[in-house]
Structure 1
Amino acid sequence: MTEHTQDKPRLYGKVAVVTGIGAGIGKGCALMFARHGATVIGCDIDAAAAQATAAEAQENGSSIEVVAPCDLTREKDVYALMDGVGERHGAIHILLNAAAMAVFKPIEEMTLDDWQFTLRGELDLVFLACKAAWPHMKKEGASIINLASANAYLTLEGSPALAHCAGKGGVLAMTRQLAAEGAPHGIRANSISPGMIVTAATSPVLDQPGFIDNVLAHNMVKRLGQPEDIGWAATFLASDESTFVTAADLSVDGGATAL
């Protein structure tokens, strides 16, 4: 792992793989990592959205290498992504698993297919990415950053998130185990649990009458989160500023889980 110095960017010399860069938190983290000097390789199943994120990075004076379309439910696609990065760049120093898929329905309406789709989208994607990247992360040490959720700790009235809560609770447990297995190899694993973040994925629920007021009533900080808020937290966990931090979950939720 490279050392952080005042005359170099915080992520200078680090190779970062970010999944789900086409929108939302994945996009925000990819842009932030690039801004702080990492070599960023981003993937998304939506090639046009991923390229738009890369174009935004270029406009801001940085760059993102795009691998898209990339279907992270397909083991062959995931290995092709990680092995390709390893061959081109020598190692993977940062893996941020932002890509996810979920169905939000109450139990009476949720089918078994909905349930399994969500668990695949929130657990399998993390497992496959970590497994495929593992040999490339072992080379020089690495930081895995997984996206859990405030929903792993609490429920929110008006949000039918049964499968999502189960999936993100699983992410917390997986991250602790990854930290234990990675420690002998210099691999740290941490998670971030966002509160309500304004993204294209959350806009349908945010548009429900009274929903934002309900969210803010549970927040100490009286605003909704932005992808950049998660990007700042992820940059800390990705950097050498956090080399003594592993198996931790960082709540970035405006204080919601403390009330």
Structure 2
Amino acid sequence: MKSLQDKVVLISGSGGGIGSEAARRFAEQGAVVFGCDLSAENQQATVDALAADGLTLHGSGSVDLGDPEQAAQWIDDAVARFGRIDILFNNASAARFGNLEDYSVDDWYFTTRNELDNVFFSTKFAWPHIPRGGVIINMGSTAAWRGTTATGKVAHSATKGAIVAMTRQLAAEGAKRGIRAVSISPGFIKTPGTAPFIANTAVKEQLLSGVLLDRLGEPSDVISMALYLASDQASFLTGSDFVVDGGMLAT
């Protein structure tokens, strides 16, 4: 039996990077996967890639989860088709980076909208449809736990710190309903979003300087943790943040 057979899994940001890997790996474990992405083109690319391997990704783009009406519609569409939400994986995020003195108010609002508001909206509207035994997985970051001189990230650090804190509260409120809530904090992972930093040799070397395993993380490293946390094997885990960073925070 596959570990997530027939579980209804919602994955935001399934059009690329960690989200695309999540859609594939959850589907391989027997889950019914319903995704969305801000880019309809990227979402369709993931749908097609999975279909080529005999896997199914439901849902289409473009969906802007920073808009509460669109977030509610995404949830309503999933419930109308599948009746419930067993696992909500709040993966989608988009941030703007820069040092504080150059960081605009618009940059701040863009990042909080696309890394915090979107998680709140999706979770709020999904909450009534998550049954006992359900799981919420939120995407945090090592930015919640440490600063860096490699790149300015004041808003990103703030939103991801909030995600980790919000996850603890969701765990507290969900316990009486049998809902678990956990977060994953990746370190430096190779994704389309980190491509500009990887392309900058000096920034890449600085970001990797504290990684004990001396390599970039892969989306599969993060999703291996997500699959475990979503499964019944993790049934005694809630309210915690799980760091996947190659040892970065150990230095």
Interval containing the TM-score (normalised by the shorter chain): over 0.9
Question: Is contact 1:105-1:160 (8 Å) kept?
Answer: yes
1:170-249, aligned counterparts within 5 Å? 170-249=162-241
Kindly provide the amino acid, as one letter, of the partner of residue 14 in structure 1.
K
Deviations 1:52-110 (A, max 9, x none): 11111122221110231111112111111112211211110000011112110111111
Deviations 1:203-236 (A, max 9, x none): 1111112222223320111110011111111001
C-alpha root-mean-square deviation of aligned residues, in Å?
1.1
Residue 129 of structure 1 corresponds to 122
Aligned equivalents of 1:258 and 1:87: distance in 2?
45
Residue 139 of structure 2 corresponds to 147
Question: Is contact 1:67-1:81 (8 Å) kept?
Answer: no
Could you tell me which runs of 5 or more consecutive residues in structure 2 were left unpaired when the two chains were aligned: none
Residue 17 of structure 1 corresponds to 10
Q: What is the CA-CA distance between 1:114 and the residue it aligns to?
A: 1.1
Could you tell me which runs of 5 or more consecutive residues in structure 1 were left unpaired when the two chains were aligned: 1-7
- TM (norm. structure 1) is 0.94
Question: Is contact 1:146-1:171 (8 Å) kept?
Answer: yes
Choose which of 37, 40, 43 in structure 1 pairs with 2:36. Answer: 43
- TM (norm. structure 2) is 0.97
Deviations 1:149-183 (A, max 9, x none): 01111123321111101110000000000111111
Percent identity between the two aligned chains: 42
Given the alignment of the two structures, is residue 29 of structure 1 paired with residue 56 of structure 2, yes or no? no
| Matched residue count | 251
Question: Is contact 1:91-1:140 (8 Å) kept?
Answer: no
Question: Is contact 2:187-2:217 (8 Å) kept?
Answer: yes
Choose which of 108, 113, 125 in structure 2 pairs with 1:120. Answer: 113
Deviations 1:28-71 (A, max 9, x none): 11111111110000001111100111111122221110231111
1:81-96, aligned counterparts within 5 Å? 81-96=74-89
